[in-house]
């Protein structure tokens, strides 16, 4: 079993556990991979659970993983979604009755971080 297969199994297990909760009907799922461009968005907010389950089984490991870009894409899409539904009303303060709890789950092989040009073998926490 590869690390990617383990990640797929973990996602399926998480969704199975989550589906037991009565509030599951209101859950929305977004699946973003490390693929460049819009091709990295595998499942959008309005896609069905069948689409999500199908796409979770399909990713293939093809190249180095640019986790930073994938996370940025996920947060940008989350921000756009919240802005469309007035969850985050900039300049108007927080409105607690409009909360939209969100969980972002990142699956990685635990390898070194990298970008389009190189792999960083050491990560410095100092500035």
Q: Write the burial class of residue 124 (CB in 10 Å: 0-12 exposed, 13-18 middle, 19+ buried).
A: exposed
**Whole-number average pLDDT of the chain:** 79
Domain segments of the chain as ranges? 3-98
- DSSP type of residue 97: G
Q: Are 100 and 82 in contact (CB under 8 A)?
A: yes
Return d(Cα 14, Cα 6) in angstroms, integer: 12
pLDDT tens digits, 4-21: 888 889 999 999 999 999
Q: What is the pTM of this model?
A: 0.72
> pLDDT of 23-52, one tens digit each?
888 888 899 888 877 888 889 888 888 999
């Amino acid at each position: 079993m590869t690390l990617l297969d383990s990640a797929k199994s973990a996602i399926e297990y998480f969704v199975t556990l989550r589906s037991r909760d009565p509030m599951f009907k209101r859950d929305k799922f977004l699946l973003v991979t490390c693929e460049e461009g819009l091709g990295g968005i595998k499942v959008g907010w309005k896609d069905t659970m069948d689409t999500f389950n199908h796409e979770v089984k399909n990713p293939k490991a093809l190249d180095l993983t640019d986790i930073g870009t994938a996370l940025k894409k996920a947060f940008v899409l989350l921000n756009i979604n919240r802005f469309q539904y007035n969850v985050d009303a900039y300049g108007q303060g927080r409105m607690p009755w409009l909360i939209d709890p969100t969980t972002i789950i990142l699956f990685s092989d635990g390898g070194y971080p990298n970008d389009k040009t190189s792999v960083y073998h050491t990560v410095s926490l100092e500035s």
